[in-house]
A and B are shown apart, each in its own frame.
Chain A
């Protein structure tokens, strides 16, 4: 499915559905009373990317890389510090609540923890009807019931469950209810933030299948945020690897996994535990992810990078198109020092 849609994505003929330009998000920290500048967390630092209509765009990275913050800005839950977000030709990052309203129906979100994201005091029926009543005042009661039933069936849930409460369901069932809640208003774009991380392996497969099926049926565009590379490899058309608030590599999923370019991408891929009986060889990389409060100068990865030189310490690399068809932000790759 993804291979097929990957081919039909002709970049020139298609307008991007979402365009993010030079996005920065900073969170001020308490303190710094006497100094001129308050300390702040640099969660996202200059991300520019396009999400095409109909694609499953994945963002991967470790905790603190800014992937969730990026998703929350697109969902309108945070305002960017600098930069713009354009959705289907309209700038949406600076809209007030009223102006944002039509986009809240077109953009829906699925959260990581289905135990926390469903209101425990609402029955499933109420949970699913609420967004419809709000976004579709033109529908009458019978139409609302019919739509809820249709969506419940499409995610593999029994519509009879409507009168029950979230605590009566298992994690997988709840996550399917969350998906149903997102789908019930007929959105175009779904932001899924670690939607299967809280679930057991056998249940992960069920939920991923529901999401892929929904994509086909509703012609959805996904922003899929995950730390699990094998899920991304399976689900995504294109993938952006984030490190410390910057995108360090962006490529078609198959290309990225077959031939990772950025040293950080290589580190990530070599860290995935494998079941093929290969002996455990891990190439350690010194240090851990630095604090996003005091960003390193130059390339965010240079302190840990085996290929770093003086240029990497000073100049931040920007995403550049490579001959191999991927986009990489790395001086070493650009200068041909990476192999």
Chain B
């Protein structure tokens, strides 16, 4: 069953010099229980996609075209009140910095009870029991004591566990995690990722994991969506995309990882940098940095097309047989 269906989604930010498009028409389907990673560099629009789904784009930005259908309703069109009831209930979000998302002046327990009571008509004691269950589920040591504690008393890893517990409170159908482990150390990151994977499986929740780290995505998700300058440029099963990337940008991104290069040798690099969103090149946005670009690439924008079992937005994708392994 398709849980989330995004069609031709565009997000604009009006400026003095005219609107800047930060999402330039994306299509994305998420099945119930599916784990999908959105990968890209800063400015690619991956967080913007998440905020658009949650209808949380800050003013003056707005969804200027397209639809976000979730469980049969178009989230781009429903009222603020309906959206508010949906957030934290059917869709939960986990952000990068747990210190920013937890309220520092409320106890952890209060924040959890507040969330529950906002969506359900239950007593404090019932909410408390549910909250303690979730704290146990994310393996917080001595949950009763933590329930009455404040966020600053916890380490970064434990805080992120609390955030996950809050996200799970109402058994959401979809969890959106925006760089959930970027602020954490590598050993803590591994624990949080393992926990997130386990809980999504257990609860049958779909997951959208947004990150710049291809390795993180490849360990947790079944499908990868690669974004560049406000567009999806490649989308397919995690194995296929990481083993045989087919868009020149994905190829370059993977080839640039240190572990893909012999120690001490110069790393494969992609020349240049991602364009600013107010100066996206015409045609294929990646063409000025691409080794395979020709005239067509700088005039005609490539659409996502199926190439060897995944979707790629590149005029030359079917010709580019160079796999990740051959690129070594």
Contact = CB atoms under 8 A, between A and B. Distances in A.
Interface of A: 1-4, 62-63, 170, 172-173, 200-206, 208-209, 212-213, 227, 229-231, 233-235, 253-254, 267-268, 270-275, 277, 280, 282, 284-285, 288-289
Contacts of A208: 258, 267
A201 B267 contact: no
Given A273-B213, A288-B188, 6 more contacts: A170-B273, A234-B263, A235-B258, A267-B187, A275-B214, A282-B191
B269 A273 contact: no
Contacts of A272: 186, 215
Interface of B: 41-42, 155, 157-158, 185-191, 193-194, 197, 212-216, 218-220, 239, 242-243, 252-254, 256-259, 261, 263-271, 273-274
B264 A273 contact: no
A172 B270 contact: no
B216 A212 contact: no
B256 A273 contact: no
Contact of A200 (B42, B216, B258, B263): B42
A234 B270 contact: no
Contact of A277 (B41, B158, B220, B242): B242
A233 B189 contact: no
B186 A1 contact: no
Given A200-B41, A282-B191, A288 B220 contact: no
Contact of A280 (B186, B187, B197, B270): B197
Given A1-B265, A212-B264, A253-B263, A284 B186 contact: no
B189 A273 contact: yes
9 closest Cβ pairs, A-B complex: A2-B264, A234-B258, A273-B215, A205-B256, A200-B41, A62-B185, A271-B190, A205-B267, A205-B269
A275 B218 contact: yes
A205 B157 contact: no
A105 B267 CA distance: 29
Given A275-B218, A284-B191, A209 B266 contact: yes
A29 B191 CA distance: 31
A202 B263 contact: no
A267 to B, nearest CB: 6
A111 B257 CA distance: 21
B290 to A, nearest CB: 12
A212 B266 contact: yes
B219 A280 contact: yes
Contacts of A203: 41, 273
B263 to A, nearest CB: 5
B263 A273 contact: no
Contact of A274 (B191, B219, B267): B219
Contacts of A235: 258, 264
Given A201-B253, A229-B186, A233-B258, A209 B263 contact: no
Of listed A1, A170, A275, residue having the most chain B CB within 10 A: A275
Contact of B218 (A209, A277, A288): A277
A285 B157 CA distance: 13
Contacts of B212: 200-201
B219 A273 contact: yes
Contacts of A202: 41, 252-253, 256, 269-270, 273
A3 B264 contact: yes
Contacts of A3: 263-264
Contact of A234 (B197, B267, B269): B267
A179 to B, nearest CB: 15
